[in-house]
Amino acid sequence: MRLDKVLEQQQVGSRKAVRRLFQRGLVCVNNQIVREEGFNVEPALHTVVVAGKQLDFTGHAYFMLNKPQGVVTAVKDSEHTTVIDLIRAEERTPKLYPVGRLDRDTEGLLLITDNGQLGYELMHPEKKVVKRYEVVVNGALDELDYQRFAEGITFIGGEQCQPAELTILTSSPEESRAYLDIKEGKFHQVKKMFLSVGKKVVFLKRLSMGPLSLTTELAPGMYRRLNASELKQLMPYFETKNRNE
Does the annotation mark 103 as catalytic?
yes
Provide the 3-class DSSP secondary structure of residue 189: helix
Distance separating alpha carbons of residues 99 and 116, to the nearest angstrom: 9
Catalytic choice (56, 77, 85, 103): 103
Mention every residue, 6+ apart, whose C-beta is less than 8 A from residue 1.
40, 41, 42, 59, 60, 115
Q: How many Cβ atoms sit within 10 Å of the Cβ of residue 19?
A: 14
Rg of the Cα trace of the chain? Answer: 21
In this structure, the number of other CB atoms found within 10 A of the CB of residue 170 comes to: 11
Total residue length of the chain: 245
**36, exposed or middle or buried, with CB in 10 Å at 0-12, 13-18, 19+?**
middle
Ramachandran bin of 128, using left for φ above 0, alpha for ψ from -120 to 50, beta for the remaining angles: left
Query: E strands within the chain?
Result: 27-29, 32-33, 48-50, 53-54, 62-67, 97-99, 107-113, 131-137, 165-170, 176-182, 201-209, 212-213, 223-225
Helices (H), 47-108: none
- Enumerate the active-site residues: 103
